[in-house]
Amino acid sequence: MKNRITILYLTLFVLIMAHVTQFLYILNLKPTDVLWPVKWIPQSSWFFTANIMLGTSLLSTFLLAFKTKHRSLRIISFVSVFFLMAMYFSYGKINHGFHQWIYILAALIFPPTFKKEYDEWWRQNLAGIFTLTYFCSGIWKIRGFFDFATSYKQYSLADYLRIQVNNATLDNGPSYFIHFFNSPSSNVFLILGALLVIALQVLPFLFVFKKKYISAFICVALFHTMTLISLKVWFFQSIILAAILLLDFDQQEYEIKEN
C-alpha cells in the first residue's frame, strides 16, 4: 500500500506541474464567481495567495511521495490542493477532473499507519470512496430521467438524451456521432447507451465491495470511453487515479494474495 500511496502523490505532483502554466494564467485574472471555500481571500491578494497555494501543493505532494507517514504533510497537501482548485474554478465554470483526487487526499489524512497488515483494508476504503463518486452520479442520472419524464411528458426519453448530447456540444464541440444521435433511428441506441452508462457508474462501487478491482477499473475505463465518444468529455485525471487505486501493479500485493 505504501508504494501505491507514493505513486499517488508523485502522480498528483506531475499533474499539477503539467497544469502550472494554465493555473498561473487563469489565476492572474479577476475571478468572476468566487466559490465558497475561497470567499475569504481578498481580491487584492488573490494572485499572491494563488501562488502560495500552488507552491505549497507542489512541495507537499512531492515530499509525500517519499514521506508518506507524515500526517502534517498530508493535511497541508489536502488543504493547499483544495484551496488551489477552489480558486481555479472560481471563474464561472467547474471541471470535475480533480475532485476525486481531493476526496482521496482528504481520506489519506486519517490513516494512522500504512503497515502491510492494513494494506487491503485501506485499499478497499480508498477505492470505495473513489467509486462512490460514480455511484452517486449514476443514481443522480436516474433521478434526472424521472424528473424529465414527469415534467416534460410530451418528450420521450430519447429526446431528453438527445438534448443532453447537444448541450454538451456547446462546450466541447460536436461529438463524433452528432448527426446519428440527432436522427430518429438513434432512439433505441440512445436509451440502451444511457442504461449502459448508468450501469458502468453503479457497478464499480459494488465490485469494490467484492474486491473485484479489475472489474471496477474496466467499468470506469469503459464509462469514460463512452463519454469521450458521445460527449467529447475526457477526464484523464480520473482514469489515472482509477489505475492507481484499482489495478494490481504492486508485486507485494500479488505475493500476499498467493500466500
186 and 174 belong to one structural domain: yes
Q: Are residues 197 and 141 located together in one domain of the fold? A: yes
Question: pLDDT per residue over 82-117, tens digit each?
Answer: 999 999 999 877 777 799 999 999 999 987 555 665
**Quick one: 259 and 142 in the same domain?**
yes
Q: Are residues 103 and 129 in the same domain?
A: no
Q: Distance between CA 109 and CA 11 in Å, rounded? A: 18
75 shares its domain with 189: no
The span from the first CA to the last CA of the chain, in angstroms, equals 17
172/132 same-domain check:
yes
Please give the pLDDT value at position 76: 96
CA separation for the pair 255, 259 (Å, rounded): 6
Average pLDDT for the chain: 85
Which of 7-11, 117-121, 139-143, 176-180 has the largest mean confidence?
A: 7-11
The answer on 69 and 126 residing in a single domain is no
pLDDT band for position 258 (cuts 50, 70, 90)? very low
Q: How many domains does the chain have?
A: 2
Indicate whether 250 pLDDT > 60.
no
> What are 146-204's pLDDT values in tens digits?
777 677 766 777 777 787 777 777 777 777 677 777 787 788 888 888 889 899 999 99
The reported pLDDT for the residue numbered 133 is 94
Q: How far is CA 4 from CA 8, 68, 97, 133, in A?
A: 6, 10, 20, 20
Lowest mean pLDDT among 8-12, 47-51, 57-61, 225-229: 225-229
C-alpha span between 68 and 1 (Å, rounded): 11
Model confidence band, residue 140 (pLDDT cutoffs 50, 70, 90): confident
Confidence of residue 118 (pLDDT cuts 50, 70, 90): low
Joined together, the cell numbers standing for residue 75 give 493535511
Does 187 lie in the same domain as 158? yes
pLDDT tens-place string over residues 11-27: 999 999 999 998 988 88
Q: Same domain, yes or no, for 122 and 101?
A: no
Q: Is the pLDDT of residue 257 over 60?
A: no
Q: How far is Cα 191 from Cα 163, in angstroms, rounded to an integer?
A: 13
At which of 111, 137, 161 does a domain end?
Answer: 111
Average pLDDT over residues 52-77: 92
Q: At what angle do helices 46-64 and 71-88 cross, to 10 degrees?
A: 140
Q: Which ranges in the chain belong to alpha helices (H)? A: 2-18, 20-27, 46-64, 71-88, 99-107, 119-151, 157-172, 178-181, 187-209, 213-231, 236-246, 251-258
168: Cβ contacts below 8 Å, ≥ 6 apart: 175, 231, 232, 233
Whole-model pTM? 0.86
- Domain of residue 185, residue span: 115-259
Predicted pLDDT at 249: 67
One domain for residues 78 and 122? no
Q: What is the pLDDT of residue 93?
A: 76
Domain final residue pick, 111, 133, 166: 111
List, for residues 44-58, the tens digit of each pLDDT value.
899 999 999 999 999
User: Which of 85, 111, 137 is the last residue before a domain boundary?
Assistant: 111
Residues 84, 27 within the same domain: yes
Phi first, then psi, for residue 94 (nearest 5°) are -110, 130
- Regarding whether 237 and 129 lie in a shared domain, the answer is yes
